[in-house]
Every structure is written in structure tokens, then in C-alpha cells.
A and B are shown apart, each in its own frame.
Chain A
């Protein structure tokens, strides 16, 4: 009976600790969808979506960033800087979602999602973010 009790307690402690750890990691990595205004006013990582401003994309060799602007449905424009590779169907995208933090007038994007005209894309599609370790 003692051994069982020890096991049970140890098990519960382990599970609780793990869940707590996971919850902490979870909360600090949560990126909610927000409006441009909200993105500007917070230092947290967020997600914003908008239509790509055609012609605004260029590669800034000095900072090694893909720079472009997106516009939301209210006409608000936000500058985005992305340190990964330009997604393949970037210019044809109907919508671009950028995930990152707003800093110094630009959204520093860690990840980009490019939405194309709808089509079930099968099991492989382009991954558009920098690998993190």
C-alpha cells in the first residue's frame, strides 16, 4: 500500500508539474488575432491579417528582411518585416497573415501565412517561417 501511495503521489506531482510547465509555455506563446491598432499598442506576439499592398514588397539587403505592407479592411496600412524567405505564392495571395511583434513602426514577423484562392492543398504546402530551435 505504501508503494502504491508513493507512486500515486509521484505521478500526480509529475503530471501537475508538467501541465503547469506546458501551460506556461502555452500562454507565453499564444498569438491572438488582433486588429492593426491593437497590434501597435502591445508588445506581445500577435497575428494580423491584411491584403498585400501590391508593389510594396522588396528585399532589404542591409537588414536581410523582406519588407512589405498590408492593408486591412478599414484601409489601415501596416509595414511588415519578415526575416524568412519570400513565400512562393506571395504576390498572388488574397490575404497575408503575419505573426510577430510590433516594434519601431514595423511588425517583425516570425511567420507568414499566405492565403491563396481556395483550393484543398493536399498534404504538403509551403512552410513560410524561420525554423526556431
Chain B
């Protein structure tokens, strides 16, 4: 255990417990205890940040004694990723969550005014639940089999898929959102405890908005990350980890609307208490689902049991007990009235919206928990994305309809200009949807959804405009956020329902037409040795514009993992998404042979015996950089013997050029010196031009057959009669029975390898087919197979296979609306948060002398 870090955590633990104790005393009337409680909270905050700083320090100095540092970082990571390692693993992410929580508590103390003592008791308990997990599974523990002198010199590194700039942005925002849900929870419980059932919403609203903004931002950033990096073309997979963040977000959105409703109409108190508790409980439940291992077999995030399941269940139980317990305790006391608003009123629509949001959350929650639920009843199962998409669509339609109508409703009834505004907005929406249908939108439900989403967009836009025109910029936040939401809904429908996708195989240089685009694979681009391989694909649109897409497909050296990144070409009306599937490097034409010979060795190529006599160093000491080395060869053919000396010369700049030498008596046959191994004194020669190469080949087990031109070869067995690895003699033959046209015979091609003298093949003649040879290729002693190759000079030479790149081309219409809408949503959300924050600060929330 790394002591400084562990000590910091323990200090934080003790200080938080003490702070809670003093806050409780302060609730019971001991005013002076409050100062102590605050200071202890401050101390705890400092201690938590010290622990965080220590962990970051350990990561930066690469202290691989520490289990966390070893597991998630390595020497090759750059600084930003090293810092991101802080939240890459389980313990670190809890620490980050805790850090945010402590930070949020500081303004909360000042801000909660009258509610402070009770709120902080609950809030501290929430932080303590995280501290306890961190004490149980400390990020500072050393690796378990550490003995002195056994410190690993490098770590396991960060998962390559996480080595991405988004890794430095998405998790911190996500955990801020999680941490923020504890504030309305604490305020709600405090309100119940202290029996002040009304003002707490004013206090909690800005915090709930903060949750909605940060969680929403984090969720969609995660989607954007997946979209541009992972290559499967989507941004949302309904995976348990995704859903675990989505459900509390929906609950928080419902809470925000519920609190606004309560402030406007003075009712729905119980609903809001329940929602505030629910949002936090759902965060805890989501944490349980994703980190306890119960979904290990059902999620691509592959969680295994991390050792803290018991604690997570305890946390969940605690949150439920405290939250709903407090609510049950005060249930009968909470004032409750009924209202009399007409149907067409903001009040009613808000209730409907909250119901619809909760319905969505319930469905997603249920679907995500399916493995857990079915495990108890029958076989563990899960539901796929199709379930969620089917369920979400009708709710989405309802919500979009509500979104579009509500701006012109007031709390007690429709506004005066309701009909006009609605007509205007509806007409604009109908026109836009009509255009959409004209360009190809289909499907009744989808078109209905589109219509209502565009309607929502226009309604809220008009309302925003109205507000701005009246000078009420600050209160336009909510409407602006809904404008963004409308855009996002349109973008989601168009890009999911109307996308088109096709797979295509692109051989090098060949253009292919797909969905109106002309694609050409231009090759592999690797500008520097450490750059990731980029596949160059030229994309030409039907309008004539061209660009070069550069999707990546490379192997991460550390983990040997094949990683693919798509190329996303974002345009105004659609995205062109090129995703790598597979790369086939092909092979160069094979119509010859390669010989590896030491001095005095002979290799056979077809009818020629090539002997390497020695080097020709006459031109080896040329001027400047130009040297040439030759290999003196004796080439013995069936009719004549000749001496040839192919040269390998340097052309300056580290490049070498091999000059082929012709062989007399054989048209087109050349010998080329490809390489020299100075250490072993070997040369590598290639003899080409025989035409005909491998006409057919197959990998055979004993007893299996290969047929060629009417004759059947059966692989009988290996011939190991002169196989003596101890003596350095590797001669392996393959005994083949050949039967054809009534005759049977036996042939045994051999493979010779004797270390220094290189490899050679002793080919057997194919009975009945003059000129055709049978050769042994690759042999596998484990599987007891041999590759039998038929070399036929009349067979067309192997042209080789070109490089091929297979891709998936997808066109995603209007997806830009999703990201653009997100920006607008965030802007509106931030405006609303600021406004509500100021409202509460300005409000007079009395602090009575004693307890309340």
C-alpha cells in the first residue's frame, strides 16, 4: 500500500465522519457545531484531492509497484493520457467521482442556507459511501505478488480504444453529472427531515439542471466518440453502461420539470420528493449493474466481478432506505392538493411529459436489468437494441407532440395567441416534413415522428423569439434547450431510419461505384514509422467533388490488437462514413523460385541446378557510395552449364538495385541477387521466368487426396528415412500414391534443409504429365499435414493478388442536426441553470433561530 495516498483516504474518511457528527449535533440545536462541521468538510475535501494528486503523481512517475498504475498505464503513454489513466480504472473513477462530489459540496454549504445542516448530513453520507468503497479497494494497493526487486519495469498500458482525446473529456463530465445527482437527493431528504416541503425545490432546481446539462453532455459526447472512432457507424448501442447513464438523466429531466411545476402551482410535492430520490438511486443502481459483474455475459463492456459487489448492494440499500424511508416517514404530513386546470394547460402537459419520461426510463431500466431479472426466474437473457427502438418510438412521438404544444400554454390554460402560434408552427412543420417526404422520408411512424419533432423545433423557436423580443432573454433558456432537442430528434430519426449502407471490396487502383459514389483504393499511407496505417480511399461524389478518406486499420504493437477507425466526412446534409472491414495485402506474383544458398551450396529450380561459388568483390570498393557485390553462380542445365554473376548495387541513399542476369538456353529466365547475409555468408537468389507456377495446391492429412488433370494423388505418409535433426540433416519426403488412367505409381518429392546450406526442394515428376512436377510446400508436424504443390509450366503464371481493402460505406442523412442540436440544447440548459441559480440566491429563505 502506498502510504501517503492511503493516509489521505483515511483522513478524508475520519474527517467526513466527524463532519457528519457535528452537523447532526448542529441539527439538534448546537449552533457552534456547525463551524466545526464545515471545517472538517473542508479538511476532507483537501484530503480527497491530496489522494487524487498522489495517484496522478504515481502514474506520472510510472511507479509500477502500485497495482492501479501497473494495470492501466505504461511508459509509452503521453502526458494527457497518463492523466486520463486516473479515471481509466475502477478505483480511479470512483476517486474522480468523489473529488467532484466534494467540490460540489463546497458551494452547497453556503448555498443551502437554512437547509444546510440536514442537507450536509445526507450529502456527507453519500460521499462516505464512495470513500468506503475506496477504502475497501484502494487505488494505492501494491500488486499482489510484489517481492523486493520484482517491480515490473513496464505497465500493461491503457486499452488502445481509450487512447483517444475524448478519453480526457468524456469521463470527467460524466462523473460530474453523477456527483451532481446527490445534491437534489440530499436537499430532498433534508426538506423531509426538517419538514420544510416547499423552498427546497428552489434550492435544488439549479443543481438538477446541472445534472441534466452535464450528464446529457457526457452521454452525447460518448456517442460522438463512438461514432467517429469505433467504426460501427452508430452513436448509441443500448448497452448497459450507456443505459446506466441514460436512465438517471431521464429521471433528472423529469425532476427538473416536476420542480418547475411545483413552483408554479404549489402542488406535486410528493412527486418531486420521489423523483429527487429516484434520480440518485438510479445512479447508484446503474453503478451496481455495471460494476458488480452481473452483466458480465451481456455487455461488450465485459465486466467481471470487481470485488465490491457487496458494497454496491449496500449502497443501493442505503440510498433506498434513506430516500424513500424519509419520504414514507413524512408522507402523511406533506400537504397535497388537487387542481382544476383544463386539459390544454401547461400544468397538465407537464404532468403528461413527466409521465412519458418516466415511462421511457422504466422501459430502458427494465430492459437493462433483464439479465438480472431473468436470472432469478429462468435462463439469463437479454434484450437487444430492437426492443428499445420499438418502445422508444411511440413515446418519442408523444413527447415531441407535447414539446411542440407546450410553449404556448400557460399554467392555467392556453395563452391568448395559442391558436395562431400553433397554426404557424404546425404549418412550418408540415412544409418541412413535406419536403422531407419528397426527398425520400418513408414509414408512417417515422414521418409522424419527423413531423412532430420539426413542430417542436418551430414552436420552441417561435417562443424563444417571443421571449427575446420582449427582452426576457434569461427566461428563454428552457425554450432554447427544447429547440436543440427538436433538432436532435430530427437528426436521430433521419440518420437512423434513412441511412443507407453497403459493403464493397476495393482492389488497389480499381474504381467501384457504390450508391452514387465512385470509390478507389489508392494504397496504404504510413507517413512516419509510428503513425497509424491509414488506408487511402478516394471518394468521388456524383456531383464531381472529390476528397480522400483516410480510415485507419492498424495493429497496436503493445496488445497486438487490430484497431479500426472510420473516416467520417461531415457535410451539411449528410455524413459519408467509411469504415474499414478488412485489409488483404495480397501477394506479389509467384512465378519463380527463391533460393537461399551458402558458399558451395546448390539449389534446384525446375531443371536447373544453381551453385553459389562465392562472392565477386571486384566492384565492392567503389567510389563514394556506389558499391556492387556479385554472386558467382554455376548454373547447370540439362543441356549446358554456364557461369553467371548477378550483382546487387547500391544506388545511393540506402537503396539497392538488383540486376537480373539472363540464363542462356532458357527464354525469359533470369537470376537475380536479392539479398546478402554478411554474417552467414548466404545469398538470396530469385530465379524467375519459368512461367507456370503453382497450378494447384492443397494441404493434406494422411489419406487425403488431390486431383489434377484426371490423376489423383493420395498423401500416404512422410518419408523420414534421412531425417536426423541431431546430425543437422533435415530431409523430409512426402510419399504420394498417384492413380490415373488405370495406372498407379508412387512418387516422393523431398524437402531438404541443412542449416547452413539452405533449403531446397527435390521435386518429383508427375507420372503421365511431362514437365509437371510435384513439390512439398509447408509442413506442419503437429497437425501432420503437408502442402502439396503441382508445378505445371503450362499453367498460367501466378499473377499475384493485389492489395484489397474492404469497407463499409454508409450515408447518414442529417446527422449533423444531432450534434448541432446538442450544442443548442447545452446552451439553453446552461442559460436555465444560471437563471435558476440566481433566483435562488436572491430569494429570501429564512433561517429561524433554533431547529426547525
Contacts and interface: CB of A to CB of B under 8 A. Distances in A.
Interface of A: 3-4, 11, 15, 18, 21-22, 25-26, 29-34, 45, 47, 49, 59, 61, 64, 66, 84-86, 88-92, 97, 99, 110-111, 113-116, 118-133
Contacts of A49: 297
B306 interface: yes
A3 to B, nearest CB: 8
B226 A127 contact: yes
Contacts of A111: 384-385
B829 interface: no
Interface of B: 71, 87-90, 93, 156, 159-162, 166-167, 170-171, 174, 222, 225-226, 230-234, 237, 239, 241, 291, 297-304, 306, 338, 340, 355, 359, 363, 366-367, 370, 374, 378-387, 389-391, 394-395, 496-497, 499, 503, 505, 559-564, 579-582, 806, 808
Contacts of B159: 119, 121-122, 125
- Most-contacted residue by chain A among B374, B378, B382 (CB, 10 A): B382
- Most-contacted residue by chain B among A3, A61, A131 (CB, 10 A): A131
A49 B296 CA distance: 12
Contacts of B562: 86, 88-91
B387 to A, nearest CB: 4
B267 to A, nearest CB: 14
A123 B172 CA distance: 11
Contacts of B87: 122
The 4 closest A-B pairs by CB, nearest first: A32-B381, A131-B234, A29-B387, A64-B503
A86 B582 contact: yes
Nearest to B395: A18
A121 to B, nearest CB: 5
Given A47-B382, A131-B496, A122 B162 contact: yes
B234 A127 contact: yes
Contact of B226 (A66, A116, A124): A124
Given A45-B384, A47-B382, A59-B581, A124 B564 contact: no
A113 B298 CA distance: 8
A127 B237 contact: yes
A123 B161 CA distance: 11
Contact of A125 (B170, B302, B359): B302
A123 B174 contact: yes
Given A21-B394, A22-B366, A29-B386, 4 more contacts: A26-B367, A26-B387, A88-B563, A124-B222
A31 B383 contact: yes
A59 B806 contact: yes
Main secondary structure of the interface of B (DSSP, over half): mixed
Contacts of A30: 370, 374, 381-383
Contact of B306 (A3, A45, A61, A120): A120
Contact of B380 (A32, A86, A133): A32
7 contacts: A22-B363, A86-B581, A88-B161, A110-B384, A121-B162, A124-B222, A129-B384
A133 B496 contact: yes
B777 to A, nearest CB: 17
Given A119-B71, A120-B90, A124-B162, A113 B300 contact: yes
- Most-contacted residue by chain A among B159, B233, B505 (CB, 10 A): B159
A45 B384 CA distance: 10
A33 B379 contact: yes
A26 B374 CA distance: 12
Contacts of A130: 232
A37 to B, nearest CB: 14
- Most-contacted residue by chain B among A49, A59, A86, A132 (CB, 10 A): A132
A11 B354 CA distance: 13
B297 A97 contact: yes
- Most-contacted residue by chain B among A61, A111, A128, A133 (CB, 10 A): A133
B384 A127 contact: no
Contact of B241 (A33, A64, A123): A123
B402 to A, nearest CB: 13
Nearest to B807: A85
Contact of B561 (A4, A21, A92, A127): A92
B386 A126 contact: no
B559 A92 contact: yes
A89 to B, nearest CB: 5
Given A21-B394, A25-B391, A115-B302, A33 B380 contact: yes
A40 to B, nearest CB: 16
A94 B563 CA distance: 17
B297 A125 contact: no
B90 A25 contact: no
A125 B383 CA distance: 19
Contacts of A91: 562
Contacts of A34: 379
Nearest to A34: B379
Nearest to B340: A3
A131 B232 contact: yes
A128 B300 contact: yes
A11 B356 CA distance: 11
A121 B93 CA distance: 11
A122 B93 contact: yes
Contacts of A86: 562, 564, 581-582
A44 B168 CA distance: 42
Nearest to A61: B505
B302 A33 contact: no
A49 B379 CA distance: 14
B359 A129 contact: no
B379 A125 contact: no
Given A30-B381, A32-B378, A25 B561 contact: no
